[in-house]
Amino acid sequence: MKTILLTSGVIAFLALITISCSKDNKQDQLNSRLNQTESLLLKSYQLAKTNDDLLITKVDAEGNYTDPSVMIEDSLYHMNDSLCSIYYLSFCNDMMDGDNMMGGNTNHGSGMMANHNYMGDTAQVNQSYRNVMMMRQTHPTHHPVK
């Protein structure tokens, strides 16, 4: 009988250790996803900004082409602008997963992330997304016309 109780206790102890390790592993995976998504967002923002800046120099004040590569620059801008939105929403979803996993213990962020409590630094991500929004507002003023 003592052997059965001892064996049951050891199995229960190992089960507790396994469960606690899997939580740490999920947190590490979440942090890895957040870091990866943040770097993708920053990269796509930089590419969108570069292509938008190049487009400004290749379209005159009336919106007419001054260079044959204008439409390529414009399509690259729009592609990376769309990627920024995708990465931002992915980052927000990962933050919500973190809230659910951690139970929420600190507030952070603004905009879509203002009501979520997962501990994470969102300042750079939010600032990049605000920059994208400002760029979207000014883009039509130098958008090429056919």
The total of other beta-carbon atoms located within 10 Å of residue 131's CB is: 15
Domain count, the chain: 1
> Could you give the 3-state DSSP secondary structure of residue 8?
helix
Q: What is the arithmetic mean of pLDDT over 35-64?
A: 89
Tell me the C-alpha distance between 18 and 20, whole Å: 6
State both tokens at 75: 């399509």
Q: Which domain holds residue 7?
A: 2-142
Tell me the C-alpha distance between 126 and 110, whole Å: 7
Tell me the C-alpha distance between 41 and 45, whole Å: 6
Q: How confident is the model at residue 142 (pLDDT cuts 50, 70, 90)?
A: confident
Confirm if 119 and 85 have CB atoms less than 8 A apart. Answer: no
The reply to whether the predicted model has a pTM over 0.95 is no
